[in-house]
Homo-oligomer: A and B are copies of this chain.
């Protein structure tokens, strides 16, 4: 049996009101009473029930977070900075890992509502009609992080995926590459699927580069699919001299595939990823990547949500964060490629 405020009051010889007052640090409690109460609290190891407190205060200090895949370093890093900000502001995180299970998401959204969370963070954009309706119905603030679902009413903290993909592609073009392969995401995803693909496509056509059907493929953002899609691309003959994958994981998969085909990165094929995950510095060659400000994204998500919870009315629209191209070893200009390839040939 947990000790409760009544026990403390009785033992200290005061009313529960007084105990409550010292608990909440109110003034208007004589010092000697305060001391006595604190001593009893210490003795009994009393910890006030947040459950009871939440009930009367109508404030739970709980935030619900829906993560698509906890084992992904991208999401868990965002989650980590969300947790950081939450903790600093006295909030606790209820975390749900849905792993592609849309039913689980809906179920959890309901749990969040029943738990009376004060805000909800979703890092997943494949929401269905049921979920959309639910979010519109509840009066709890909801914010999307790193993704943007197809609904103007929802607010997202994201980068400009179109522009980022455009710049990444343009960078490869400026290096002199003509045949630039693309490993995209799920076209049902607005941000990471459609927008990044459009950015690639437009950058290519704006510079008069031909889109080669065999060089355009789509994966699921994971390492294995990067490998698989690259394999398909290579088996199609006339291989590209550079490849842009819309996640670092896929880019690493692609690099591994290239290596397994006895080709070199970047000497034979340059590779560029997207996200700016830990992997970029960890693989060899290190991976050039269009980086999202992952930590900032988590921080800003939480800060905006806290404002929403606080009742502030924010300017309409999404919060757009800055992306940044981080150039590392995996990308190389087309001319260098040629030279090196020739030199290598001389040595053989």
**CB of A111 closer than 8 Å to a CB of B:** yes
**CB of A341 closer than 8 Å to a CB of B:** no
**CB of A131 closer than 8 Å to a CB of B:** no
Q: How far is the CB of A59 from chain B (nearest CB, A)?
A: 10
**CB of A268 closer than 8 Å to a CB of B:** no
Interface residues of A in 56-84 (CB under 8 A from B): 60, 69-71, 73, 76-77, 79-80, 83-84
Which residues of chain B come closer than 8 Å to A2, judged between CB atoms?
Answer: 116
Which residues of chain B come closer than 8 Å to A51, judged between CB atoms?
Answer: 51, 54-55, 60, 115-116
B interface footprint on A221-258 (CB within 8 Å = 1, 0 otherwise): 00100000000000000000000000000001001100
Cβ-defined partner of A95 (8 Å) among B55, B60, B83, B223:
B83
In the assembly, how many copies of this chain are there? 2
**CB of A94 closer than 8 Å to a CB of B:** yes
**CB of A93 closer than 8 Å to a CB of B:** yes
B interface footprint on A89-118 (CB within 8 Å = 1, 0 otherwise): 000111111010000100010110111100
B interface footprint on A284-295 (CB within 8 Å = 1, 0 otherwise): 100000000000
Give Cα A92 to B284, complex, Å.
40
B interface footprint on A255-273 (CB within 8 Å = 1, 0 otherwise): 1100100000000000000
6 CB contacts below 8 A, A to B, read A69-B80, A70-B80, A73-B73, A87-B96, A92-B115, A283-B283
B284 in contact with A259 (CB, 8 Å): yes
A93 in contact with B94 (CB, 8 Å): yes
B77 in contact with A114 (CB, 8 Å): no
B87 in contact with A49 (CB, 8 Å): no
Q: 16 more A-B contacts (CB under 8 A) besides A49-B116, A255-B284?
A: A2-B116, A45-B138, A50-B115, A52-B55, A69-B80, A70-B80, A70-B83, A71-B73, A71-B80, A73-B73, A80-B97, A92-B111, A93-B95, A223-B278, A252-B282, A283-B283
**CB of A47 closer than 8 Å to a CB of B:** yes
The 9 nearest A-B residue pairs measured at CB: A70-B80, A76-B76, A95-B95, A83-B97, A50-B114, A47-B113, A71-B77, A50-B115, A47-B114
**CB of A137 closer than 8 Å to a CB of B:** yes
In the complex, what residue of chain B is closest to A95 when comparing beta carbons? B95
Cβ-defined partner of A282 (8 Å) among B96, B104, B223:
B223
**CB of A48 closer than 8 Å to a CB of B:** yes
A71 in contact with B114 (CB, 8 Å): no
B76 in contact with A70 (CB, 8 Å): yes
In the complex, what residue of chain B is closest to A101 when comparing beta carbons? B87
B interface footprint on A199-231 (CB within 8 Å = 1, 0 otherwise): 000000000000000000000000100000000
In the complex, what residue of chain B is closest to A107 when comparing beta carbons? B87
Give Cα A259 to B284, complex, Å.
9
B71 in contact with A278 (CB, 8 Å): yes
Which residues of chain B come closer than 8 Å to A83, judged between CB atoms?
Answer: 70, 95-97
Give Cα A223 to B280, complex, Å.
12
Q: Which of A2, A77, A111, A282 has the most CB of B within 10 A?
A: A282
In the complex, what residue of chain B is closest to A113 when comparing beta carbons? B47
B48 in contact with A114 (CB, 8 Å): yes
In the complex, what residue of chain B is closest to A255 when comparing beta carbons? B284
Which residues of chain B come closer than 8 Å to A114, judged between CB atoms?
Answer: 47-50
Which residues of chain B come closer than 8 Å to A70, judged between CB atoms?
Answer: 76-77, 79-80, 83
